[in-house]
Amino acid sequence: MGGTQSVEFGVALEQASYFPGETINGYVQVRVLADNIKVPELCVSFTGTAFTQVYHKRSKESSAKLLKQNEVFLNIVAKVGSIDQGRLVRGAQLQCPFAFTIPNYVVASMPEIVDGRARAEIKYQVSIYSTKPGKVFGSNTTCVHSVAVDILASPPLLMPPSRIEDFVEVRRCYCFPVGTIRLAATSSVSAYQSGSEMIVSYDVDNQCNHDISYINISIDRHITFSARGKRHTWNKTILTTKMPGVDRGDSFGSNTSQASPMVDGKASVDVQRDSHSVSLQVPELAYYTTMFNTIGVSYFLTVYAKNKNEYVRDLVASIPVKFYRLGPAAIGKKVRDLKSTDDDSHDDVMIATVVGIEYEPNPKNIVNAIESPIVKATLVR
């Protein structure tokens, strides 16, 4: 709980994780520890914040500079007001119920991304703010307590599997065509969860006099975020597997030619074969697909065909896929309350866990039932 030596404030929530469109129900808990105190006016807010930090150098000779951007893209505020002085007696435990409806368009929470000194994070909090006595409500406010809330992503619409193709025409001496190579790939579905199975199918039509050394299949992650106009990117291969190559004149899959041309003066056998399929187990992911104006996390299923001849371009079929989670974030012990973009001071708040109501709701304890919250700011898209 937050507060002073004479009063403590807390937030009790029904659950730790919510989907867009759901309602966050909870209580502001006020515990009075002394007599003759005056509790300032209170308000409760539900906020969404995107924080980014980029390490930027203008040139090799110049010194590096940390650029930070802290963007509050959602701010729903509900006023509690003043609590009647007669109820503020030592030992009193008071409750102020509140309810926030989460907009349908919000993005999911994202644990802190750390790549060197570059950082990015999307977080949500329910916070209690107090106003100093004698001051206008809404000004001179102080955050006395915060609780992290985990917002999950709604399951994306399952689109038909994408089929991506790549094609290269092989030439001798850069002039005379001697054949073609075609690569096509498709995934079983367009969106996955951690731990699910991904079926990858690929076709190869190698109608030239060069061999393909191997086929590499990988899941690649691309993270990009910006602060004050400067961008940071971080690319990583999450999973990879290597498959056998394809000999010259060989082909398999639905789009291979029925009439194979001559290869090295010999006619290849005209046999239609099914596509090759590979099963991949999606690992536990730290970050999921996110599209925000300053933060983006995207994934691609990449099928790569390596040619033995260094003068022939390698083929790549890259399919965009989405990953989402339906449970709590898998990593992170703390979330940071980054109040300022001008210094490195951080206030730790509680990670998104179920914050149990410390005492059962009692009609005698209910004070200042909060009216419908007012949306002060909406998502910046």
Q: Which residues pair with 167 in a beta bridge?
A: 182
Query: Do 23 and 75 reside in the same domain of the chain?
Result: yes
CB atoms within 10 A of CB 110: 22
Pairwise CA distance, residues 218 & 275, whole Å? 18
121: closest CA among 234, 225, 228? Answer: 225
Pairwise CA distance, residues 150 & 17, whole Å? 5
Pairwise CA distance, residues 201 & 217, whole Å? 10
- CATH classification at residue 86: 2.60.40.640
Query: Do 216 and 271 reside in the same domain of the chain?
Result: yes
Query: Do 280 and 185 reside in the same domain of the chain?
Result: yes
Pairwise CA distance, residues 202 & 222, whole Å? 23
The beta strand positions in 4-117, using DSSP E, are: 7-13, 17-18, 23-32, 41-56, 65-81, 93-101, 110-115
Query: Do 220 and 80 reside in the same domain of the chain?
Result: no
Residues contacting residue 274 through CB under 8 Å, at least 6 positions apart? 252, 253, 254
Which two structure tokens, joined as six digits, stand for 371?
């009216």
Ordered DSSP codes for 230-281 = EEEEEEEEEEEEEEEEE-TT-EESTTS-SS--EETTEEPP----PPEEEEEE
For position 140, what pLDDT does the model report? 63
Query: Do 256 and 362 reside in the same domain of the chain?
Result: no
Query: Do 191 and 133 reside in the same domain of the chain?
Result: no
Query: Do 90 and 227 reside in the same domain of the chain?
Result: no
56: closest CA among 296, 297, 229? Answer: 229
For position 286, what pLDDT does the model report? 84
Q: Is 85 helix (H, G, I), strand (E, B) or coil?
A: helix
The one-digit pLDDT tens for each residue of the chain (381 residues) are 555 568 888 888 888 889 999 988 888 888 888 888 877 778 889 999 999 999 887 766 667 788 999 999 999 888 777 777 777 888 888 888 888 889 988 999 998 898 888 999 999 999 988 876 544 444 567 888 888 899 998 777 777 778 999 999 988 776 777 889 999 999 988 888 888 899 999 999 999 888 999 999 999 999 999 999 999 999 999 999 999 999 998 999 865 444 444 444 444 444 456 889 999 998 888 899 999 989 999 999 999 999 998 888 999 999 999 998 877 764 333 333 223 233 333 333 333 333 334 434 444 444 544 433 433 333 333
Planar angle of CA 104, 221, 274, nearest 5 degrees = 100
Provide the number of structural domains found in the chain.
2
Question: Would you give the end-to-end CA distance of the chain in angstroms?
Answer: 34
153-165: b or e for each residue (b if 16 or more CB lie within 10 Å)?
beeeeeeeeeebe
Query: Do 286 and 341 reside in the same domain of the chain?
Result: no
What is the length of the chain?
381
Last residue of one domain, picked from the residues 283, 300, 323: 323
Last residue of one domain, picked from the residues 323, 351, 367: 323
Query: Do 315 and 197 reside in the same domain of the chain?
Result: yes
Last residue of one domain, picked from the residues 277, 304, 323: 323
Ordered DSSP codes for 290-331 = EE-SSEEEEEEEEEEEEESSTTS--EEEEEEEEE--SS--SS
CA 322 to chain centre: 11
Residues contacting residue 222 through CB under 8 Å, at least 6 positions apart? 233, 234, 235, 296, 297, 298, 299, 300
Query: Do 288 and 359 reside in the same domain of the chain?
Result: no
Query: Do 342 and 236 reside in the same domain of the chain?
Result: no
Ordered DSSP codes for 46-59 = EEEEEEEEEEE-SS
The answer to whether the CB of 77 falls within 8 A of the CB of 100 is: no
Pairwise CA distance, residues 53 & 28, whole Å? 33
What range defines the domain where residue 299 resides?
163-323
The answer to whether the CB of 67 falls within 8 A of the CB of 51 is: no
For position 274, what pLDDT does the model report? 84
Query: Do 143 and 202 reside in the same domain of the chain?
Result: no
Pairwise CA distance, residues 286 & 236, whole Å? 12
CA dihedral 277, 281, 286, 290 (to 10 degrees): 40
For position 315, what pLDDT does the model report? 95
Q: How far is CA 265 from CA 17, 174, 261, 307, 313, in A?
A: 66, 21, 9, 21, 24
